[in-house]
Amino acid sequence: MNKIRNGAAKAATGAAALTMLVGSVAGAAAAQGSGGKGDIDLAVPAGATIAVGGSSFSAPLYAYFTTPTSAGAYKPTTSVTFGANSAAGSGDGRTKIASGVYNIGFSDQPMDAAAGTLPSGVTASTVKNFVQVPWALGGAVVGYHLAGLNNLKLSATVLSQIYNGKITSWNDDQIAALNPGVTLPAKTIKVAYRNASSGTTYAFTDYLAKATQGRTPSGASGSVMEGTGKLWGATNILGEANNAAMATELSTTDGAIGYLEYSYVLAHPGSIQTAQLQDAAGKFIAPTLKNIAQAATATAKTITASNFSITYLASGKLDVWPLVTYTWAILAKNQTSADNGELAVKFLDYATQGGQKFAGANGFVALPPLVQKADRVLLGTVVSGSTVLLKLKK
C-alpha cells in the first residue's frame, strides 16, 4: 500500500447518464483538480482508505498518482491509504465493484447491457447505481520479440491468421510480402494471449474485426481468446495474466508475439519490438503518443457506455493509430462510507483533471477536454446518503 501523509515533501454511470457524456457541460474553477495550493480535492478526511483493482491497462498511471515521490502524485493534506491495484483484468474490476469489494473498479469496458458487460448482480435497470467515467486513455500495440527487427509491418489479416494458427513461422510468405528486403528468421511464432477477461483483449479483437470487415472468428470480445470452443486456433500459445505479464513474456521470449498497452513497451526500452499497423487509408504507421492522441480527439464526441471503443476506421482520418482505448473508473453512486467515498471521488477528480498533464510522461495521452468536463460532472453526482462528496466550484 502507498501511504501519503500530511507534510510530505513537495514534488512536481450508467448508460443513460453517459448518453450525454460529451454534451455541453459547465467547467469548474481552475484550482480544483489541479493539485495547486488550496485545491479542494486535497481536503480529504483523515484515515480514509480505498481498495481498487481491475484493468491492468491503466495500472501504471494509478501507481504514478499514488506514489508520493512522483512529480504528479496526488497528495491530500491528511493521512490516507491507497490500496494496491490488483491489475487482475477488466472483468475483475467490474465484478468486484459490483460486489462491493472495491471502492473503484477499473475496466476498459464499462458496465452496459447493450455491450454485454454487466457483471453478476447488475441489471440494465440497476447499472444506474454506478458512476462510470473514462479516466485514462492509451494506445494498445502489437509487440513481439525478434531482436534487431523493430517496426515490422503486420496487417490485421496476417495477425488474425497468426492467432488462428494459420501462420506459424516468422518467415511465412505473407509476412515477407509485407516486409520486402527484410530477412525474416525461420522461427516458430509463440502466440501470447490474455488468460482472463481483459479489456485489452477486447480492444485487440475489436480492431481485428473492424480492420478485416468481420472476417475474424469471434469478433470483439473481452473473454479469454483460447479455451472452451477454441475460437482462436493457435496452438503454440502463452497465457498471460495481465499487461505486466505480457510485457515480461515479450521482453524475454524469442519469437513471441502479443498485444499490450503502449506504456508497458516504454517501460521495457529496447526489449520489446512493436509492429507497424495500418491507418484508415492502409498506410503502415508506428505507434506514437501523437497519433494515439489524434484517435482520441477524432472520436471524443461519440464516447458512451455502449460506444466506448476507438479502433481502426472510427475516425476515418489518416495517420491515426488504429488501436486506442479508454480505461473507465467505476464506483457506486451512493457510497456506504462517506470518508472513503470522498477520497475515491476526489482522487479521480484530480486524476481526470489536473493530473492529466502527467499522462504523456507515463505513456498515455491526456483526456480530450470534452471528456474531462463530462467526467467532473458525473463525479459530482456521487453521494453518501444525502451528502454530495465532490462539491463543484462555480
Instruction: Tell me if residue 205 falls in helix, strand or coil.
Output: helix
Confidence bin at 233 (pLDDT 50/70/90): confident
pLDDT of residue 113: 85
pLDDT digit string, tens, across residues 51-81? 999 988 889 999 999 999 999 999 999 999 9
Strand 323-332 with 104-107, pairing: antiparallel
The per-residue pLDDT for range 302-314, each reduced to its tens digit, is 665 555 555 555 5
At the fourth CATH level, the homologous superfamily of domain 2-138+325-388 is: Periplasmic binding protein-like II (3.40.190.10)
Residue 189 or 306, more confident: 189
Q: What share of the chain is helix, strand, coil (3-state, %, to 5)?
A: 30, 20, 50
Query: For domain 140-323, which architecture applies?
Result: 3-Layer(aba) Sandwich (3.40)
Q: What does DSSP say about strands 52-54 and 104-107: parallel, antiparallel, or unpaired?
A: parallel
Residue 39 has pLDDT above 90, yes or no: no
The answer, yes or no, to whether residue 375 has pLDDT greater than 50, is yes
Q: How confident is the model at residue 11 (pLDDT cuts 50, 70, 90)?
A: very low
In this predicted model, which residue has the larger pLDDT, 321 or 66? Answer: 66
Same fold for the pair 2-138+325-388 and 140-323? yes
Record the cell numbers describing residue 309, joined without a space. 471503443
* Choice among 22-31, 45-54, 225-234, 242-251 with the minimum mean pLDDT: 22-31
Size of the chain, expressed as the number of residues it contains: 394
As a whole number of angstroms, the distance between CA 4 and CA 120 comes to 34
pLDDT of residue 214: 56
- As a whole number of Å, the CA-based R_g of the chain is 21
CA pair distance 24, 373, nearest whole angstrom: 9
CA angle 160, 57, 388 (to 5 degrees): 135
The residue-averaged pLDDT of 190-207 equals 85
pLDDT mean over 275-304: 81
Q: Which of 340, 368, 334 is nearest to 82 (CA)?
A: 340
Q: What is the mean pLDDT of residues 340-351?
A: 97
220 compared with 201, residue with greater pLDDT: 201
- Taking residues 39-48, report their average pLDDT: 94
- Contacts of residue 249, defined as CB under 8 A and 6 or more positions apart, other chains included, come to 192, 238, 240, 256, 258
Q: What is the mean pLDDT of residues 349-365?
A: 93
At residue 213, the pLDDT reads: 67
pTM, rounded to two decimals: 0.80
Q: What integer pLDDT is reported at residue 298 of this predicted model? A: 63
Is the pLDDT confidence value at 43 over 70? yes
pLDDT value of residue 35: 77
Res. 200 pLDDT band, cuts 50 70 90: confident
pLDDT for the residue numbered 145: 97
Name the residue among 348, 225, 203 with its Cα closest to residue 277: 203
Q: In whole angstroms, give the CA distance from residue 13 to residue 265.
A: 32
Cβ partners under 8 Å of residue 195, min gap 6 = 224, 226, 239, 240, 241
Q: Compute φ and ψ for 348, nearest 5 degrees.
A: -65, -35
Q: Where are the domains of the chain?
A: 2-138+325-388, 140-323
Task: Among 14-28, 72-86, 309-323, name the most confident range.
Answer: 72-86
